[in-house]
Amino acid sequence: MIVSKQTGDARIPKHIFVTGGVVSSLGKGLTCAALGKLLEHHGLTIAVQKMDPYINVDPGTMNPFQHGEVYVTADGAETDLDLGHYERFTHAAINRHSNYTTGQIYNSVISKERRGDYLGACIQVIPHITNEIKDAIRQARGDADVLITEIGGTIGDIESLPFIEAIRQFGIEEGRGNCLYIHLTLLTYLRAARELKTKPTQQSVGKLREIGIIPDVLVCRTERPMTGEIRSKLSMFCNVEHEAVIEEMDVKNSIYEVPMMLHEQGLDALVLRKLGIASRVVAPDFSAWKHVVETACHPSREVEVAVVGKYIELHDAYKSIYEALAHGGLANDAHVVVRKVNSDRLDPAELGKVLGGVDGVLIPGGFGERGVEGKIASARWAAEGGVPYFGICLGMQCATLYAARDLVGLEDAYSREFDENCPDPVIDLMPDQKKVTLKGGTMRLGSYPCRVDPDSIVGRAYGTAVVSERHRHRFEYNNAYRERLVDAGLRVTGVYEEVDLVEIVELEGHPWFVGVQFHPEFQSKPSEPHPLFASFITAACAHADAKADRSADGNAHGNGAECADGRARPSTANEIGT
């Protein structure tokens, strides 16, 4: 029993477990985030957690093609990108207990065994691994009213079995009335038969029942609306109440439509009833969220921004970046069209063609030398053309290398990451990182404070003197080159004072050229766009407007054949160089 901080009344913590069936990539993370959001609107405090059945201790060492983006929490854990959805949709406290992997669970059990904690017992999946999983669930719960735990993978996978067994046991231990099992499944539409098929769902629920879990709620992903007949069939053959069969249609415009759609389907009311919790509000107020959805679906204008990266083919690799750009758009009532540019195949001579017409260039974080020259060239292109530039982590390092080479005149300026022996390591390892031998979990990770110069682009955007931003990198701006870089026009406008580390650089005299060593994208929400993304998109809109004005001027003089900035006309393609 816990006592709520908010009201002081004694409450029994409630648990929701979300499993997935039929296929992967059904959007379990989004569904959990949307449900969390709905419950918050009922005045409940929530926590959200993901269990990942792979053996890696965390996704930090995985290739983005394997895993997508690595999401970094404020307390410095490298986690699954679904945690990004949780943070964007809800106010849940997300931390290292919000994501556990099989590797982490085994690591902890094996360490305890080596310490002798098990007093001579033979260590087995049941009970030792399952107990460890249950402890991890209780850890994540904190003092929230409701913890939503997402189980990664698909029912039927061998890997996820210990997690499923643990959540089954959890229901017995905590009381079946305090635990709710939601199964997210796919209704497949057969074009030839013009029918939604329920059999894969029936089989998936059958598999769950074999392991001892009877789901309370079925959330059905479907591209077509469910008929009453389908609902009845699913209810009867999956042994789920008729009204607990929830339809989750594919959304048309924005993922931010999902919470309202599930609310209209009655998911929140159903969950509250089944868990025996009363809503703490008379009527949930969704007006602010509806405003977000309305702006996302019907923006007043469009602006195009290039994202130049190595893993551009995989949308998930830069998930939080794309989301934060969209939030920057929301702050400006604009839809941000992303031109995805593969840095690997970027020929500096072709830059005008590839980037021509965009109103902003963003270079996200990255590792390794491949594609880096294309990124430096893109920073140069934006700097010289007065196009808004936002460099994030490696993108900040590339902007610094551009300035070192072109403005200071250090032709061989490079990062120690790419060349151990480079003569001018403008980006270098700090002494403590030189001692690091293990790859996993050893970067500069998590939140650090940064003092920003109030008289700068970032200072005006933030409106506060000290900000806290999340990091994930090993290499840093080398202070040995600071004076020369600043003298050449690359201002330092953000510093981690304790060790005098440069965190933010800005190009003097440019409308918006900013590089940040941290990852602001992890702190952006649709309802609270990150100030730097909002400011970047404002600058991109201003760039587009100025271009349109100049072009109108040119047309008035019968000279409209080219873009006003002399660059090639915008391409309509959404992906270039891939």
Q: Does 312 bind ligand GLN (CB under 6 A)?
A: no
Distance of closest approach, residue 529 Cβ to ligand GLN, in angstroms:
21
Sole residue written with tokens 């607990």? 244
Q: Which residue type, as a one-letter code, is found at position 325?
A: L
Q: Does 141 bind ligand GLN (CB under 6 A)?
A: no
Q: Does 394 bind ligand GLN (CB under 6 A)?
A: yes
Distance of closest approach, residue 351 Cβ to ligand GLN, in angstroms:
21
* Mask for 454-473, x = binds ligand GLN (CB under 6 A): ------------------xx
3 state DSSP class of 346: coil
Give the span between the Cα atoms of 71 and 81, in whole angstroms: 5
Distance of closest approach, residue 478 Cβ to ligand GLN, in angstroms:
12
From the number of C-beta atoms within 10 Å of its C-beta (0-12, 13-18, 19+), residue 480 rates as exposed
**From the list 82, 257, 268, 417, which residue makes contact with ligand GLN (rule: CB under 6 A)?**
417
Cβ proximity to ligand GLN: between 72 and 334 the closer is 72
Contacts of residue 255, Cβ cutoff 8 Å, sequence gap at least 6? 30
422 included as an active-site residue: no
Distance of closest approach, residue 471 Cβ to ligand GLN, in angstroms:
8
Cβ proximity to ligand GLN: between 298 and 370 the closer is 370
Q: Does 475 bind ligand GLN (CB under 6 A)?
A: yes
Q: Which of 54, 50, 46 is nearest to 71 (CA)?
A: 50
Catalytic member of 393, 398, 450, 541:
393
- Which of the stretches 95-103, 258-266, 274-282, 363-371 binds ligand GLN when contact is defined by CB under 6 A? 363-371
Cβ proximity to ligand GLN: between 395 and 531 the closer is 395
Cβ proximity to ligand GLN: between 36 and 365 the closer is 365
Cβ proximity to ligand GLN: between 163 and 475 the closer is 475
Give the span between the Cα atoms of 246 and 571, in whole angstroms: 42
Give the span between the Cα atoms of 97 and 228, in whole angstroms: 41
Distance of closest approach, residue 369 Cβ to ligand GLN, in angstroms:
10
- Which of the stretches 196-204, 251-259, 301-309, 359-367 binds ligand GLN when contact is defined by CB under 6 A? 359-367
Cβ proximity to ligand GLN: between 71 and 289 the closer is 71
Cβ proximity to ligand GLN: between 290 and 474 the closer is 474
- Which of the stretches 221-229, 247-255, 333-341, 362-370 binds ligand GLN when contact is defined by CB under 6 A? 362-370
**From the list 53, 152, 356, 366, which residue makes contact with ligand GLN (rule: CB under 6 A)?**
366
Give the span between the Cα atoms of 528 and 560, in whole angstroms: 39
Give the span between the Cα atoms of 411 and 146, in whole angstroms: 57
Distance of closest approach, residue 282 Cβ to ligand GLN, in angstroms:
46
From the number of C-beta atoms within 10 Å of its C-beta (0-12, 13-18, 19+), residue 84 rates as buried
Give the span between the Cα atoms of 330 and 349, in whole angstroms: 34
Distance of closest approach, residue 73 Cβ to ligand GLN, in angstroms:
15
Cβ proximity to ligand GLN: between 444 and 510 the closer is 444
Catalytic member of 183, 263, 471, 519:
519
Distance of closest approach, residue 426 Cβ to ligand GLN, in angstroms:
12
> Over the Cα atoms of the chain, what is R_g?
26
CA-angle at 452, arms to 447 and 455, nearest 5°:
160
Q: Does 375 bind ligand GLN (CB under 6 A)?
A: no
Judged by CB under 6 A, the number of residues near ligand GLN is 10
Q: Which of 191, 326, 311 is nearest to 255 (CA)?
A: 326
Distance of closest approach, residue 510 Cβ to ligand GLN, in angstroms:
22
Query: At what angle are helices 161-174 and 130-141 packed, to 10 degrees?
Result: 60
Q: Which of 354, 222, 199, 275 is nearest to 12 (CA)?
A: 275
Cβ proximity to ligand GLN: between 417 and 469 the closer is 417
**From the list 131, 249, 367, 373, which residue makes contact with ligand GLN (rule: CB under 6 A)?**
367
List the structure tokens of 52: 């990942």
Distance of closest approach, residue 472 Cβ to ligand GLN, in angstroms:
5
Neighbours of 313 (CB within 10 A): 12
42 included as an active-site residue: no
Q: What are phi and psi of 309, to 5 degrees?
A: -150, 170
Q: Does 42 bind ligand GLN (CB under 6 A)?
A: no
| Cα 529 off chain centre by | 13
543 included as an active-site residue: no
Cβ proximity to ligand GLN: between 79 and 265 the closer is 79
Could you please report the per-residue DSSP string of 24-75?
S-S-HHHHHHHHHHHHHHTT--EEEEEEE-SSSSSGGGS-HHHH-PPEE-TT
Give the span between the Cα atoms of 91 and 198, in whole angstroms: 35
146 beta partners: 14, 46
Q: Which of 161, 155, 162 is nearest to 134 (CA)?
A: 162
Would the CA dihedral through 507, 513, 518, 524 be positive or negative? positive
Q: Which residue type, as a one-letter code, is found at position 404?
A: A
Cβ proximity to ligand GLN: between 405 and 472 the closer is 472
Q: Does 365 bind ligand GLN (CB under 6 A)?
A: yes
Distance of closest approach, residue 310 Cβ to ligand GLN, in angstroms:
11
Buried residues in 219-236 as b, exposed as e (16+ CB within 10 A): bbbbeeebeeebbebbbe
**From the list 341, 393, 461, 539, which residue makes contact with ligand GLN (rule: CB under 6 A)?**
393
Sole residue written with tokens 């309802």? 527
List the structure tokens of 136: 């991890």
Residues with a catalytic annotation lie at: 393, 519, 521
**Binding region for ligand GLN (CB under 6 A):** 365-367, 393-394, 417, 472-475
